[in-house]
Amino acid sequence: MNCERAKPELLGFHFGMAEAEARGALEAHLLGCPACLREYLELKRAVELPEEIEAPSELSRARLRRAVAAELRRGAAPWTWWERPLAVGLAAASVWLAVGTVRFVSTQPGRAPHAMERAP
């Protein structure tokens, strides 16, 4: 396997669509070729992080709204005046914390995937 043959296979490899034989050859090539490994990591990052994460995604917000609405509908015990804003605040904070964690882990130099990129 050489670079010309390896590069078009990277996307299929990422999604587990490469044939077993091609997969083995590609893995062997990636282990010995920093250029292709870097390209693979960049592709992987582009697939997994399609855009800069600045705010919770629309999907996360929709899930949060549904969760809060379900919680409000349940109404087994009436909420005191301070419980509802606290619950909504905690839910929002946990979403922001999750987003912040993902962002921190994925954008700091010296952390994955940056650390992996520098590996020979």
C-beta closer to Zn ion: residue 6 or 41: 6
For Zn ion, the binding residues in 90-109 under the rule CB under 5 A are none
The residues, any chain, with a CB within 8 Å of residue 108's CB and separated by 6 or more, are 114
AA identity, residue 75: G
C-beta closer to Zn ion: residue 8 or 110: 8
Site string for Zn ion, 15-44 (x = CB under 5 A): ------------------x--x--------
Q: How far is the CB of 7 from Zn ion (least distance, A)?
A: 7
CB-based contact 92:64 (threshold 8 Å) = yes
Site size for Zn ion (CB under 5 A): 4
Q: Locate 23 and state its tokens.
A: 């997969």
CB-based contact 10:39 (threshold 8 Å) = yes
Q: How far is the CB of 43 from Zn ion (least distance, A)?
A: 13
Q: Which residues bind Zn ion (CB under 5 A)?
A: 3, 6, 33, 36
